[in-house]
């Protein structure tokens, strides 16, 4: 069946007029889920749907009866699609629900958002091949890309407890670092603090321990997508990462955007997975016709920086990167699900799979400062004259994402912001 249906029709408009403005992240074709409460209160967070610049209380509509996002994420595909249709009809021009539902709206600027769900386990992958190549060159000039890279999605377990929603501020991490020529390590604040531009794939329905998810079924276990900033301390990473991988260089903070953009909303923006000629084909357990044809996401990704001095001068954020998720990722989200579970490992509703840094092939598509500055050797010069090799205290990073295609209404992923403190 085609997942593109009347909920994607460009003719569809909402009675929430702001949602119909061109450029809105949250037209009626999007309908992402998030958790919110009125700002300044200590109410429990509720499930809401973003529509234009408003949030609709989903419990208020009576369409769900629990504030537990993880329970909503565990729904089967058919029920999810029904829920989407019901929300779409209720928010559409001429809806019978308009009068009742208009009392269920709160302005997004008056809401505080939480992380979109309870994240049990967080796995970070490494699907951005251009990133893997660039970083590999810096860490291991003799062997930038490991022999396993084109055979399996490389990933590692991350830290759930330090994941926060957009707006996260965190102190510059301290730790051990060692320069190659030093006799011993020293302890102090990281001097090579960086961001990583990633997508966060959220698991919907889980699988039982011991029951792998086939590549044909994997899409049914994906709930939605957010933006993800995998903050990284490069100097701590270089000293600690062998032989068991990154640890304290990553687990001090990870920031996600608040809105779960569902796979239903993203249906018109799927793209083929392309592998360069001569690259090995995936082993059969990672290969399926549908995955090859439309396993990738055609999402435009942008990174902006806003320094303390820019804020002081009233300057807007400045773009560092503009790229596309589809051309950056060597493995699809479905392949991540299948590979993760092929040994029997169980995924649970709300689990998070990071895509890894989605750098494109061009220099200005790089998703980290490590790449943009060639390992800190070539500073980025900002419009106000400031230079950056790595992040300075007071820097705010903003990741944005959106989908645009002829014949489809633009949908946005919103943004994720985070700020480094001293």
Residue ranges that bind a copy of itself, judged by CB under 8 A: 120-121, 123, 126, 136, 139-140, 146-148, 151-152, 154-162, 164, 170-171, 173-176, 178, 184-185, 187, 209-210, 212, 233, 236, 239-249, 251-253, 280, 283-285, 339-340, 342-348, 351
Distance of CA 109 to the CA centre of its chain: 22
Angle at the Cα of 180 from the Cα atoms of 179 and 182, rounded to 5 degrees = 65
Phi then psi for residue 220, to 5 deg, are -70, -10
Peptide bond into 243 cis (omega under 30): yes
Min dist CB 397 to a copy of itself, Å, is 17
Q: Between 226 and 255, whose beta carbon lies closer to a copy of itself?
A: 255
Closest to a copy of itself by CB, 53 or 68:
68
For a copy of itself, which is the closer residue by CB, 280 or 406?
280
CB of 121 to a copy of itself, least distance (A): 5
Say how far apart CA 121 and CA 349 lie, in whole Å.
10
Q: Cβ 185 to a copy of itself, closest distance in Å?
A: 5
- Smallest distance, a copy of itself to C-beta of residue 65, A: 22
User: CA separation (Å) from 345 to 87, 174, 314, 341?
Assistant: 34, 33, 50, 5
| Alpha-carbon gap, residue 349 to 117, rounded angstroms | 9
Residue 103 or 242 having the CB closest to a copy of itself: 242
* CA–CA gap between residue 264 and residue 79 (Å, rounded): 12
Pairing status of strand 122-125 against strand 46-51: unpaired
User: Cα–Cα distance between 157 and 131 in angstroms, integer?
Assistant: 19
Bridge pairing between strands 163-165 and 254-256 = parallel
The H or E element that residue 328 is part of is: helix 325-328
130 is catalytic: no
Q: Which is nearer to a copy of itself, 173 or 414 (CB)?
A: 173
Our CB check for a copy of itself shows the closer of 175 and 258 to be 175
Pairing status of strand 352-354 against strand 122-125: parallel
Out of 8, 93, 130, 131, the active site residue is 131
Nearest alpha carbon to residue 252 among 185, 190, 191, 179:
190
What's the min distance (Å) between Cβ of 34 and a copy of itself? 21
Three-state secondary-structure class, residue 296: strand
Q: Reduce the DSSP state of residue 301 to 3 states and report it.
A: strand
Shortest approach of a copy of itself to residue 152 CB, angstroms? 5
Residues catalogued as catalytic: 131
């Amino acid at each position: 069946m085609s997942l593109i249906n009347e909920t994607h029709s460009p003719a569809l408009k909402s009675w929430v007029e702001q949602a119909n403005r061109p450029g809105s992240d949250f037209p009626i074709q999007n309908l992402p889920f998030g958790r919110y409460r009125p700002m300044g209160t200590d109410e429990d967070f509720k499930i809401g749907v973003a529509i234009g610049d408003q949030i609709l209380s989903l419990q208020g509509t009576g369409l769900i009866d629990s504030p537990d996002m993880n329970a909503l994420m565990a729904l089967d595909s058919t029920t999810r699609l029904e829920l989407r249709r019901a929300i779409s009809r209720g928010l559409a021009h001429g809806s019978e629900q308009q009068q009742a539902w208009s009392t269920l709206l709160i302005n997004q600027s008056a809401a505080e958002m939480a992380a979109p769900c309870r994240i049990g386990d967080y796995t970070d992958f490494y699907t951005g091949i251009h990133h893997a190549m660039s970083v590999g060159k810096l860490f291991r000039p003799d062997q930038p890309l490991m022999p396993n890279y084109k055979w399996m999605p490389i990933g590692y377990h991350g830290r759930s407890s330090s994941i926060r929603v957009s707006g996260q501020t965190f102190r510059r991490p301290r730790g051990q670092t060692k320069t190659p020529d030093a006799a011993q390590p020293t302890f102090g604040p990281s001097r090579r603090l960086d961001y990583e531009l990633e997508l966060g794939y959220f698991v919907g329905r889980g699988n039982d321990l011991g029951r792998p998810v086939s590549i044909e079924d994997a899409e049914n276990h994906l709930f939605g997508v957010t933006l993800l900033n995998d903050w990284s301390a490069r100097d701590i990473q270089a000293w600690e990462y062998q032989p068991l991988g990154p640890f304290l260089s990553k687990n001090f903070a990870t920031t996600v955007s608040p809105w779960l953009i569902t796979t239903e909303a993203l249906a018109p923006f799927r793209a083929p997975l392309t592998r360069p000629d001569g690259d090995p084909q995936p082993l059969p357990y990672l290969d399926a016709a549908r995955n090859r044809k439309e396993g990738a996401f055609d999402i435009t990704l942008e990174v902006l920086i806003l320094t303390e001095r820019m804020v002081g001068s009233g300057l807007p954020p400045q773009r560092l990167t503009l790229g596309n998720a589809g051309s950056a990722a060597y493995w699809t989200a479905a392949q991540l699900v299948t590979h993760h579970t092929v040994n029997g490992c169980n995924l649970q509703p709300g689990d998070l799979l990071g895509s890894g840094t989605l750098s494109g092939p061009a220099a200005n598509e790089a998703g980290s400062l490590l790449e943009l500055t060639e390992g800190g050797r070539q500073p980025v010069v900002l419009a106000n004259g400031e230079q950056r090799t790595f992040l300075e205290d007071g820097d705010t990073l903003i990741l944005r994402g959106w989908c645009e295609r002829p014949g489809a209404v633009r949908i946005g992923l919103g943004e994720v912001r985070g700020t480094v403190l001293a």
